[in-house]
Amino acid sequence: MDDIGATFRNMHQKGAPFTLMNAWDVGSAKVLEALGADAIGTTSSGHAFTLGLPDMGYVGRDDAMAHAQDLDAAVSVPVSGDFENGYGDDPDTVAQTVRLAAEVGLAGCSIEDTKMDSPVTFYDFDLAVERVKAGVAAARALKHDFVFVARADGMMNAVYDIEEAIKRLQAFDKAGADCLYAPMPETLEDLKRLVNCTDKPVNVLAVGPFAKQSRKDYADMGVARISLGSGLARLIHAQIIGTGKRIIEDGDFTDILNAAPGRDTERLLTR
């Protein structure tokens, strides 16, 4: 049987980015694959929304793993798990999350340095690095290939700056992470600094102002992977919110005229 992890690893080429299409349920995963997605990613927030929950620590590991396993079983392309902080603070928990991800068939996963406090904080530098080392060790001990992505989420959560993000990415690189990811820097120039601070593949989150860049733009920067996070899920929710308000408040049903024909979706689901 083909090593799906090795297939996924080979997709990560600096300057030739693929797009990790983040799905929030089996139907969206199947539609995205039918449209030509190279790989599928879960999205912690998109999944949480389907359960009627907010993001950031409200979905437990068992539910997240079961969800990821369902998506993996539904498609033939590699699937990577968005597993927040690994569902625990200590390095051993991160390692166990990696092992479980491999057991359910995933080709890789990402782990953040975010501590799920309220308000959100982050792990101190030394612990953050130890957590990455544990995840890498667990991935390398597997019988098949597995792409471990180390995330520095402090800029996105407004808890540290670009200098700290670069320091962490370089330490995560040295710790053996396969791909590095620091979402939502303040500027495009900061993003370029993140991409150039390492020889490892770097993932970029194409949401907010960064959705204005094309795949070619990202290729020219040396990006290896582009992900969408909850972007597609939130796009659907924007339509639900806007159309729902017009129906409920104004009795205006005309947005429904723009709905995709059911037969089009059915063709994609059965392709």
Residue 212 maps to a domain: yes
Average pLDDT over residues 148-168: 95
Range 234-262 average pLDDT: 96
pLDDT reported for residue 117: 82
Split into its structural domains, the chain has a count of: 1
pLDDT band at 210 (very low <50, low <70, confident <90, very high): very high
d(CA 153, CA 38): 25
Q: Is residue 29 part of a domain?
A: yes
Work out the average pLDDT over 153-175. 96
Residue 1: what pLDDT? 43
* pLDDT in the model for residue 54: 87
Domain that holds residue 206: 4-230
Alpha-carbon distance of 98 to 12, in angstroms, equals: 19
Q: Which percentage of the chain shows pLDDT scores above 70? A: 100
Cα–Cα distance between 75 and 253 in angstroms, integer? 34
In a domain, 242, yes or no: no
Give 8-67 pLDDT, tens digit per residue: 999 999 999 999 999 999 999 999 999 999 999 999 999 999 999 988 888 999 999 999
What integer pLDDT is reported at residue 46 of this predicted model?
Answer: 95
Q: Which CA distances in Å does 7 have to 3, 145, 208?
A: 6, 9, 30
Q: Is residue 202 part of a domain?
A: yes
Task: For residue 236, tell me if it sits in a domain.
Answer: no
Q: Pairing relation of β-strands 121-122 and 114-115? A: antiparallel
Domain with 150 in it: what CATH number?
3.20.20.60
**For residue 34, how far is the Cα from the chain centroid?**
20
Q: Is 263 among the domain residues?
A: no
Residue 238 lies in a domain: no
pTM above 0.85, yes or no: yes
- Give the β-pairing of 147-151 and 121-122: unpaired
Render pLDDT for 73-101 as a digit per residue (tens, 0 to 9).
999 999 999 999 999 999 999 999 999 99
Establish if 266 belongs to a structural domain. no
DSSP 207-237: -GGGGGS-HHHHHHHT--EEE-TTHHHHHHH
